[in-house]
Amino acid sequence: MIKIKNLAIVIFVMILSILLAIASFGAGNPEAYLFPRIITSIMLLLSLLLLVFHFYEKDYQTETINILKLSPILILIIFFIFTGEYLGFYFSTSIIFLTICYFYFPQKKDVKKLLFFLLIGTCFMTTIYFLFSFFLKVQVPRFFLL
């Protein structure tokens, strides 16, 4: 569990606004960057208002995020971003399916359960394969035969 305070989000929003404003105002060609400059100025103003209201309203809201529970899916997302194109979509998404099913299954897990998830995953991925490769004719990145 990690606790994130509202102030942390307000500061994140402020830093984001400042960075985007620097990117917009620091770029050449004022004509092309006029609209983004107006938008980032509004973002700066709104983030300042958020900061003012945070202290004015004493909005000390704290949100808890169950990062431990979310870590398998977050790791999977990062894994897919870096390897999806090389390992192929069918192979890497099959790993995603299996991992989500296994890690987030609320009851006791054993080899029998893992084989069951493998069966469900194979059926689901076969449907996806026929839907995308045959019906929609989408050629996704592949790895060996998958």
Partner 1 sequence: MEFFNYFSNVFTFANILILILGTIGGLLLGAAPGLSPTMAVALLIPFTFHMSPEQGLIMLGAVYTSTVAGGAISAILLKIPGAPANIATVMDGYPMAKNGKSTEALHYCFISSFIGGVIGILVLIFFTPVLADVALKFGPSHMFWIAIFGVTVIASLDSKSIIKGLFSGAIGLWLATIGYDAVLGVERFVFNPIFSGGINIIAALVGLFAIPQVLSMLEDKQSQADQFQMEKKNLFESFKYNISRIKALIVGSTTGTIIGLIPGAGGQIAGLVSYAQIKKTSSNKENFGKGEPDGIIAAESANNAMVGPSLVPLLTLGVPGSPTAAVLLGGLLIHGLFPGSNLFTVYAETTWTFINSLLVAQFMMLIFGLYISGLAKYVMKTPTHYMAAAITILAIFGTYSVQHNFADVIVMLFLGTTMFFLSKFGFTAAPIVLGIILGPIAETNFNQAKIIADTQNGIFDYLTSGPLNLTIIALCLISILYGVYGDKEKRKTR
Helices (H), 57-139: 67-87, 89-103, 111-129
Site for partner 1 in 69-108 (CB under 8 A): 69-70, 73-74, 77, 80-81, 84-85, 89, 93, 96-97, 100-101, 104-106
């991925």: which residue's tokens? Answer: 125
Please report, as residue ranges, which positions from 3 to 22 form the binding site for partner 1 (by CB under 8 A).
4, 6, 9, 13, 20
3-state helix, strand, coil in the chain (%, to 5): 70, 5, 25
CA distance 140 to 146: 10
Q: Are 140 and 92 in contact (CB under 8 A)?
A: no
Contacts with partner 1 by CB under 8 A lie at 4, 6, 9, 13, 20, 23, 27, 29, 31-36, 39-40, 42-43, 46-47, 49-50, 53, 57, 61, 63, 65-66, 69-70, 73-74, 77, 80-81, 84-85, 89, 93, 96-97, 100-101, 104-106, 120-121, 124-125, 128, 132, 136-141
